[in-house]
């Protein structure tokens, strides 16, 4: 189920048949990674951070995400699901987390594990790490895969400020990888561990992990895809659900349950100052400030690019406000008591069981030219070209804004004639072939 | 000479009291330096210098002109402001010293990092201030030939 090469894997793709070449996605893209060429949108691989802003705005359903299909799990003899706690917020107030987990078993998973306790574990380990490492400040949490990728590409100097503890989904899968083959007597390759998520970028972190040699997860199913099956399983077994109300088998962590909301990751910190930011543009604004040396009096910065946190993920079903309200109820119901033993956390932490395999590294940057003198000349030329553009940011040229067109021109990806407002020396332009693609990125 | 010819220059205005745009010039400078292929560490140092200096203008001065000049060897940043000037430059360069108001601190500014932090991140640091007229900062950050991977 892992498709694409690790280096270039992306979860977000354009369905060309459905794309009509409008400019919604291009305008929404925060890294200016989309161009419209010959009437179709194209995502530039090296600039895409899989944030799914394009998927959210496309009016023609032409942007899709590659997540794991349930059918592809047949390759495994034993199927394990670890759903994001966001899943608990997708149902009405009468459906309890235990019923959702049991419905997932009926859908076809052999075992299902709750992530809230592991979220609590992660929080306790983060606290310990912050105690042990007084500098640098702020550390930034590594839970949101888009934040990790945007830092590698746009804020490379902040790579060392990512707190090097794996997110709960990987820690949970790693624990299960350690214990299940022994307890089941099955080879590890026959056990499929699947995350259920509202987030397309989880597929990217599974296929090309940024801080692990290999992900402990085998795939990610979107909540949207599996939701109808869960509903069906829930409706069929009301009696069973009643029993599970009476004999809850999983102890949910209130601290961990809140992880699906912005601020949830840091809420459990006892002795550190934390700030939570959500939404892509706000995240970028705050990362700009951190790169400029601000926020050094903050210990931990939690960034999630979806609005309100993971609960605002694009592959959820329930609207995020209702989901958020439901999660808050569950947090309150679960209470404040710890379900994870601090001594266990400490032991795993000191064994480096929770750590990154390797530090986060910046990915290759894309200056105007590798030769500094040439880059300087190109930047000057770009400035001149930009000054002659209409600043309408209309997108007709196929670039999201005039600044990007100027940039594409000096990089050799576009020509000035692409702009319908700039008079050309050669007179009226021909209708096609406006853009020369010297080298396709 | 090729080096002298290859200099990128740009000028930015900064308005005092414009907290809504705080950091905008520093961000633009940072993006430019990345496009020019400077090393990550050089860009970070320049970003910190630009951010701190821009904040100083926004917090204390009426207006300023920022001049950026980038050659393959160095990044030169000049902040020339019309403002109150600094009565005691020595003191302002002391770590932890700050005249920021409570409101500024509320916004997370004025931790007394400004000038000392700028100086720490600069290879060449010159300051010229006159009370009642303004302050001029000249900063050079050497690239040491390191370019981005």
Q: B36, A365: Cβ pair inside 8 Å?
A: no
* Structure confidence at residue B102 (pLDDT): 63
* Between B88 and A229, residue with greater pLDDT: A229
* Structure confidence at residue B96 (pLDDT): 72
Q: What is the band of B148 on the pLDDT scale with cuts at 50, 70, 90?
A: low
Q: Helix, strand or coil for residue A342?
A: helix
Q: Touching check for A275 and chain B: CB below 8 Å?
A: no
Q: What is the band of A250 on the pLDDT scale with cuts at 50, 70, 90?
A: confident
Q: B70, A376: Cβ pair inside 8 Å?
A: yes
What are the strands of the beta sheet with B124-130, ordered from one edge?
B8-15, B63-70, B74-82, B134-142, B124-130
Q: Residue A352: which H helix or E strand, with range? A: none
- The mean pLDDT of chain B is 87
CB within 8 Å of A351: residues ≥ 6 apart: none
In a domain, B2, yes or no: no
Quote the tokens at residue A128.
């310990």
Residues of chain B contacting A277 with CB distance shorter than 8 Å: none
Q: What is the band of A7 on the pLDDT scale with cuts at 50, 70, 90?
A: low
CATH code of the domain covering residue B119:
3.30.565.10
Alpha carbon distance A364, B76 (integer Å): 25
* Structure confidence at residue A427 (pLDDT): 52
A220, A68 Cβ separation under 8 angstroms: yes
In a domain, B56, yes or no: yes
Q: What is the band of A3 on the pLDDT scale with cuts at 50, 70, 90?
A: very low
Tell me the residue length of chain A. 441
* Beta pairing partners, A83: A196
Mutate to test the interface with A, among B37, B54, B110, B142 (most CBs of A within 10 A): B37
* Structure confidence at residue B71 (pLDDT): 95
Q: Touching check for A380 and chain B: CB below 8 Å?
A: yes
Q: A157, B111: Cβ pair inside 8 Å?
A: no
Rg (CA), chain A: 24
pLDDT in tens, A175-206: 999 999 999 999 999 999 999 999 999 999 99
Calculate ∠ Cα A295-A300-A301, nearest 5°. 70
Q: Which residue of A has its CA nearest to B52?
A: A292
* Structure confidence at residue A423 (pLDDT): 83
Tally of CA atoms within 13 A in the half-sphere of A307 that contains its CB: 7
User: Which residues numbered 36-55 in B keep a CB inside 8 Å of some CB on A?
Assistant: 36-38, 40-41, 43-44, 47-48, 50-52
Domain count, chain B: 1
State which residues form the domain around B61: 9-142
Residues of chain A contacting B51 with CB distance shorter than 8 Å: 289, 292-294
* Structure confidence at residue A400 (pLDDT): 98
Is the alpha carbon torsion for A112, A118, A120, A123 positive or negative?
A: negative
Alpha carbon distance A295, A191 (integer Å): 44
pLDDT in tens, A362-405: 998 899 999 999 999 999 999 999 999 999 999 999 999 999 99
- The mean pLDDT of chain A is 92
Find, among B76, B73, B77, the residue nearest to B146 by Cα: B73
* Structure confidence at residue B2 (pLDDT): 45
What count of other Cβ atoms lies within 10 Å of the Cβ of residue B123?
13
A86, A100 Cβ separation under 8 angstroms: no
In a domain, B118, yes or no: yes
Alpha carbon distance B54, B114 (integer Å): 10
| CB-nearest partner of A380 from B8, B26, B48 | B8
Find, among B38, B69, B25, the residue nearest to A156 by Cα: B38
φ and ψ at B8, to 5 degrees?
Answer: -95, 130
Mutate to test the interface with A, among B29, B114, B148 (most CBs of A within 10 A): B148
In a domain, B64, yes or no: yes
Looking up tokens 């702020």 gives: A138
Alpha carbon distance A419, A389 (integer Å): 8
In a domain, B148, yes or no: no
Alpha carbon distance A84, A303 (integer Å): 17
Is the alpha carbon torsion for A265, A267, A270, A275 positive or negative?
A: positive
Find, among A7, A53, A28, the residue nearest to A393 by Cα: A28
Q: Which residue of B has its CA nearest to A156?
A: B40
In a domain, B24, yes or no: yes
Alpha carbon distance A33, A21 (integer Å): 15
Mutate to test the interface with B, among A155, A366, A375 (most CBs of B within 10 A): A375
* Structure confidence at residue A48 (pLDDT): 95
**pLDDT cut 90: percent of chain B above it:** 67
Helix residue ranges, H only, B18-148: 24-35, 40-60, 89-92, 102-106, 114-121
Is the alpha carbon torsion for A403, A421, A416, A24 positive or negative?
A: positive
The pTM of this model reads: 0.90
Alpha carbon distance A24, A226 (integer Å): 28
| CB-nearest partner of B40 from A157, A294, A370 | A157
* Beta pairing partners, A12: A65
pLDDT in tens, A273-300: 999 999 999 999 999 999 988 898 999 9
Long-range contacts of A323-329 (CB under 8 A, 24+ apart): A323/A86, A323/A89, A323/A90, A323/A260, A324/A89, A324/A261, A326/A88, A326/A89, A326/A90, A326/A91, A326/A92, A326/A93, A327/A85, A327/A86, A327/A88, A327/A89, A327/A257, A327/A258, A327/A260, A327/A261, A328/A258, A328/A261, A329/A93
Alpha carbon distance A210, A159 (integer Å): 11
In a domain, B149, yes or no: no
What domains, with CATH codes, occur in chain A? 1-66 (3.30.70.20), 70-350 (3.40.50.1780), 367-441 (1.10.15.40)
Q: Helix, strand or coil for residue A347?
A: helix
Q: A372, B48: Cβ pair inside 8 Å?
A: no
Alpha carbon distance A326, A312 (integer Å): 13
Quote the tokens at residue A410.
């000096």
DSSP E strand boundaries for A40-190: 40-43, 63-65, 78-83, 111-112, 139-140
Which of A129-138, A280-289, A419-428, B57-66 is the least confident region?
A419-428
In a domain, B79, yes or no: yes
């Amino acid at each position: 189920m892992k498709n694409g090469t690790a280096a270039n894997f992306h979860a977000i793709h354009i369905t060309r048949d459905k794309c009509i070449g409008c400019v919604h996605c291009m305008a929404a893209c925060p890294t200016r990674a989309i161009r419209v060429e010959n009437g179709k949108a194209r995502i530039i691989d090296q600039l895409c951070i899989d944030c799914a802003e394009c998927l959210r705005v496309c009016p023609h359903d032409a942007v899709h995400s590659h997540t794991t299909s349930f059918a592809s799990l047949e390759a495994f003899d034993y199927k394990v699901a670890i759903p994001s706690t966001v899943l608990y917020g997708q149902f009405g107030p009468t459906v309890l987390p235990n019923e959702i987990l049991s419905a997932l078993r009926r859908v076809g998973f052999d075992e299902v594990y709750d992530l809230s306790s592991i979220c609590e574990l992660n929080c306790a380990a983060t606290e310990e790490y912050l105690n042990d490492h007084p500098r640098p400040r702020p550390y930034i949490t590594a839970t949101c895969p888009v934040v990790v990728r945007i830092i590698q590409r746009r804020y490379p100097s902040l790579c060392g400020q990512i707190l090097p503890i794996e997110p709960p989904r990987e820690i949970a899968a790693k624990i299960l990888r350690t214990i299940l083959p022994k307890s089941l007597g099955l080879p590890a390759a026959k056990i499929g561990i699947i995350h259920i998520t509202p987030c397309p970028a989880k597929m990217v972190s599974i296929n090309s992990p940024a801080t692990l040699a290999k992900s402990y997860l085998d795939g990610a199913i979107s909540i949207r895809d599996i939701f109808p099956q869960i509903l069906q399983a829930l409706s069929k077994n009301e009696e069973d659900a009643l029993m599970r109300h009476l004999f809850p088998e999983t102890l949910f962590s209130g601290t961990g349950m809140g992880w699906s909301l912005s601020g949830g990751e840091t809420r459990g910190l006892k002795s550190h100052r934390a700030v939570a930011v959500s939404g892509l543009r706000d995240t970028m604004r705050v990362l700009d400030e951190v790169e400029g040396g601000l926020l050094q009096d903050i210990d931990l910065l939690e960034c999630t690019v979806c609005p309100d946190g993971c609960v605002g993920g694009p592959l959820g079903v329930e609207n995020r406000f209702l989901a958020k309200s439901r999660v808050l109820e569950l947090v309150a119901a679960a209470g404040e008591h710890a379900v994870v033993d601090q001594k266990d956390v400490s032991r795993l932490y000191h064994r480096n069981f929770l750590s990154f395999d390797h530090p986060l590294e910046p990915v290759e940057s894309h200056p105007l030219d590798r030769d500094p003198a040439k880059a300087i000349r190109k930047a000057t030329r770009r400035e001149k070209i930009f000054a002659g553009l209409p600043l309408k940011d209309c997108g007709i040229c196929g670039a999201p804004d005039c600044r990007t067109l100027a940039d594409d021109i000096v990089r050799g990806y576009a020509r000035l004639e692409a702009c319908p407002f700039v008079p050309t020396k050669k007179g009226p332009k021909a209708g096609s072939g406006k853009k020369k693609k010297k080298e396709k990125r | 000479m090729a080096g002298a010819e290859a200099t990128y220059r740009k000028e930015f205005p900064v308005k005092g009291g414009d907290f809504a745009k705080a950091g905008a010039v520093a961000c633009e400078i940072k993006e430019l330096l990345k496009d020019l292929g400077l090393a990550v560490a050089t860009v970070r140092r320049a970003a910190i210098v630009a951010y701190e200096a821009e904040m100083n203008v926004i917090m204390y001065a009426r207006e300023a002109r920022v001049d950026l000049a980038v050659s393959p060897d160095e990044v030169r940043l000049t902040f020339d402001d019309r403002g109150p000037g600094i009565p005691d430059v020595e003191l302002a360069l002391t770590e932890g010293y700050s005249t920021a108001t409570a409101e500024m601190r509320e916004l997370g500014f004025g931790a007394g990092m400004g000038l000392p932090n700028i100086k720490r991140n600069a290879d060449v640091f010159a300051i010229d201030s006159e009370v009642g007229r303004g302050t001029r900062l000249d900063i050079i950050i050497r690239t040491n030939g390191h370019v981005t991977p």
